[in-house]
Each structure stands twice: as C-alpha cells, then as structure tokens.
C-alpha cells in the first residue's frame, strides 16, 4: 500500500523546487531581425575602429561592456532568449557606447554640437551614456528577476531593479577610478576614459543620470515589457 505524497509549499510533485520561478514566456524575436541588429552593430564597430580618437586601448575600455554583453548573450540565445524590446534597446545602448569609444566621450561631435548650440560648458554626451546605463540595464534586471525568481510585479521589484542599476553605476565609477590610477603615468589614456572634463561632481552626475534612466524605463516601458513577457 503506497502512501500519498505530501506536498510542501514551493515544491512540485516531481520533487523539484519551484520557489522563485515565474512562468514567463517571452515573445520571441525573429532570427532575421536579431542577425540584422548584430550585423549593423558590427559594421558600426568596424567604422569606429578606424583610427579611434583616444586610441585602441580607450576604445576597448569604452566598448568593453558591449563585448561582455555579446559574450553572454550569444551562447545563451537559445537557452534564455530575451524579449524583442530588450534586444532592440541593447542594440541602441551598444551604438551609444561604441560612438563614445570612437571619439572618447569628451569629443563626440553630437555633444560638441549641443555644447555650441546651447552654451554648455562641457560635452554632455557622457551624460547620455550614463542615462542609458540605467535605462537599458533596468529592463534587463527586471526581466531576469521576473523570469528567475519569485518576485512579482510591484513595488519590491521596482525597488530592487533600481538598486541593481545604482550598484552597477557605483561599481563603474570605481572602475573608472582604478583605470585612471593605473594609467596615471601613461599619458592621456586614463583621463580619456575617466572623462570628467574638469567637473568635480562628475561621478555624482553619472550615478544620478543612471538613476533617472532606471526610473524612466521602468515607468515608461514596463507595460510593453510585460506584454512581451506574456504577463
């Protein structure tokens, strides 16, 4: 005579632990669009590598986050596909970073135009880069948390996603500091990567813009993100 199995909270009848996993089925992106985005970025990256203003070391440091993201996303494409919204936003973020790598953030022509047109005291293209540092990773963190943990949509998810983005922004400021120290005796390389342009509050501005980006994407795009997640 077999005894009925006792079910425990968060444990499936198969014996596996289901706690912390949400049933999110993302809308798939077509392979054609995904390859097109990758090809477009590849062409843009190739152009940016033709005599980058700060040299190839600065280019590698500025475009490094894109290369790291590709190294993670390509092998996990089938196992953990992201929503189309995320792939498109990551592509835009990659363009922003790669353009900054080509010119260094202090010399990007778009920022120079805005500086002249609006009377700014510095090239603010790096502010756009740090806004994107919060805007896009916020939805990446949101998707990972929704699909891999027991978190549900609400205040706690919003809070934790924001905290993740601020933590990343703070750690990136530490990386800039370490690089500047490491290249202190090697000419302009460290300063080109640090890109403060004489602003003593540059690190604080960077983190604040990242915070604004994280808040903006969660408030403005969560409805579309949820739709593509099937939620």
Extract the tokens encoding 165.
Answer: 């983005």
Residues pairing with 11 in the sheet: 17
Residue ranges for the chain with pLDDT beneath 70:
1-24, 183-198, 231
CB-based contact 62:97 (threshold 8 Å): yes
State the pLDDT at residue 175: 84
User: Cα separation of 185 and 162, whole Å?
Assistant: 37
Q: Which residue, among 88, 218, 231, 205, has the nearest Cα to 161 in the 3D structure?
A: 218
Tens of pLDDT, residue by residue over 24-77, are: 678 889 999 999 999 999 999 999 999 998 889 889 988 999 999 999 999 999
Q: H-type helices in 52-197, by residue range?
A: 56-73, 84-103, 109-118, 125-148, 155-182, 189-194
Q: Which residue, among 138, 126, 42, has the nearest Cα to 85 in the 3D structure?
A: 138
State the pLDDT at residue 172: 85
Tell me if residue 160 falls in helix, strand or coil. helix
State the pLDDT at residue 25: 74
At a CB cut-off of 8 Å and minimum separation 6, what does 59 contact? 48, 49, 52, 101, 102
State the pLDDT at residue 182: 73
User: Cα separation of 117 and 120, whole Å?
Assistant: 8
């Amino acid at each position: 005579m077999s005894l009925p199995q006792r079910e425990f909270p968060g444990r499936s009848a198969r014996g596996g632990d289901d706690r912390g996993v949400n049933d999110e089925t993302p809308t798939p992106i077509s392979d054609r669009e995904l390859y097109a985005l990758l090809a477009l970025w590849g062409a843009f990256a190739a152009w940016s590598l033709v005599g980058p203003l700060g040299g190839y070391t600065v280019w590698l440091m500025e475009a490094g986050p894109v290369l790291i993201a590709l190294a993670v996303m390509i092998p996990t494409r089938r196992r953990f596909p992201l929503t189309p919204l995320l792939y498109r936003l990551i592509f835009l973020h990659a363009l922003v970073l790669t353009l900054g790598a080509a010119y260094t953030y202090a010399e990007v022509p778009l920022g120079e135009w805005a500086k002249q047109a609006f009377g700014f005291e510095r090239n603010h293209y790096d502010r756009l880069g740090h806004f994107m540092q919060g805007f896009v990773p916020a939805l990446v963190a949101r998707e990972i948390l929704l699909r891999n943990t027991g978190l549900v949509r609400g205040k706690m998810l919003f809070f934790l996603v924001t905290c993740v983005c601020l933590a990343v922004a703070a750690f990136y400021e530490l990386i800039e500091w370490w690089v500047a120290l490491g290249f202190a005796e090697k000419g302009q390389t460290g300063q080109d990567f640090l890109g403060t342009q004489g602003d003593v509050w540059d690190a604080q501005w960077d983190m604040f813009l990242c915070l604004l980006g994280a808040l903006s994407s969660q408030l403005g795009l969560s409805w579309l993100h949820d739709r593509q997640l099937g939620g």
